[in-house]
Amino acid sequence: MLEKNKVYELEIVDLGHSGEGIGKVEGFTVFVEGGLPGDFLKVRTTTVKKNYAIGKLLEILTPSSTRSNPPCPVAHQCGGCQIMHMDYQAQLDIKRSRVEENLRRIGKVEAKVLPTLGMDNPYEYRNKAQFPVGMMKGRAIMGFYEKGSHNIVDTPYCHIQHPINEKIVKLIKEYIEQYQVSVYDEETKKGLIRHVVTKVGYQTGEIMVVLVTNGKKLLHQEELINLLKENIAGLKSVVQNINDKNTNVIFGRDTITLYGEDHIVDYIGDLKFNISARSFFQVNPMQTKVLYETALEYAGLKGDETVFDIYCGIGTISLFLAQKAKKVYGVEIVEAAIEDAKVNAEINNMTNTEFYVGEAEKIVPEIYKKGIKADVVMVDPPRKGCEEAVLETIVNMAPERVVYVSCNPATLARDLAYLQEKGYFAEVVQPVDMFPHTAHVETVCLLTKK
Shared domain check, 242 and 159: yes
How far apart, in whole angstroms, are the C-alpha atoms of residue 429 and residue 79? 29
Shared domain check, 103 and 23: no
Per-residue model confidence (pLDDT) at position 138: 86
Q: Would you say residue 82 lies in a domain?
A: no
Q: Would you say residue 76 lies in a domain?
A: no
Last-in-domain residue among 255, 276, 297: 276
Shared domain check, 340 and 236: no
Shared domain check, 270 and 243: yes
- Looking up residue 403, the CATH number of its domain turns out to be 3.40.50.150
Shared domain check, 221 and 320: no
Shared domain check, 165 and 100: no
Q: Would you say residue 74 lies in a domain?
A: no
Shared domain check, 408 and 310: yes
- Looking up residue 50, the CATH number of its domain turns out to be 2.40.50.140
Shared domain check, 339 and 228: no
Shared domain check, 244 and 212: yes
Per-residue model confidence (pLDDT) at position 250: 95
Shared domain check, 331 and 245: no
Q: Would you say residue 173 lies in a domain?
A: yes
Per-residue model confidence (pLDDT) at position 48: 93
Taking the alpha carbons of 152, 33, 73, 235 in that order, is the dihedral positive or negative? negative
Phi, psi of 141 (to 5 degrees): -125, 145
Shared domain check, 406 and 331: yes
The order of strands in the sheet holding 193-200 is 152-154, 139-145, 128-136, 193-200, 207-213, 235-242, 254-260
**In sequence order, which residues have a C-beta less than 8 Å from that of residue 316 and are 6 or more positions away?**
268, 271, 273, 281, 282, 288, 292, 344
Per-residue model confidence (pLDDT) at position 279: 86
Q: Would you say residue 72 lies in a domain?
A: no
Per-residue model confidence (pLDDT) at position 154: 94
Residue span of the structural domain in which 173 resides: 128-276
Of the residues 72, 81, 386, 407, which is catalytic? 407
Shared domain check, 149 and 103: no
- Looking up residue 251, the CATH number of its domain turns out to be 2.40.50.1070
Answer yes or no: 72 catalytic: no
Q: Would you say residue 80 lies in a domain?
A: no
In contact, 305 and 376? CB cutoff 8 Å: yes
Last-in-domain residue among 276, 298, 326: 276
394: closest CA among 404, 383, 402?
402
Query: What amino acid is encoded at 163 in this protein?
Result: P
**In sequence order, which residues have a C-beta less than 8 Å from that of residue 101 and are 6 or more positions away?**
none
Q: CA of 397: how far to CAs of 5, 78, 306, 308, 378, in Å?
A: 57, 46, 12, 11, 13
Q: Which residues pair with 52 in a beta bridge?
A: 29
Q: Would you say residue 172 lies in a domain?
A: yes
Last-in-domain residue among 228, 257, 276: 276
pTM over 0.85: yes
Interhelix angle for 360-369 vs 388-397, to 10°? 20
Q: CA of 129: how far to CAs of 169, 211, 403, in Å?
A: 11, 12, 30
Q: Name the stretches of the chain with pLDDT < 70.
A: none
Q: How many domains does the chain have?
A: 3
Per-residue model confidence (pLDDT) at position 150: 87
Q: Would you say residue 79 lies in a domain?
A: no
Class of residue 215 by CB neighbours under 10 A (exposed 0-12, middle 13-18, buried 19+): middle
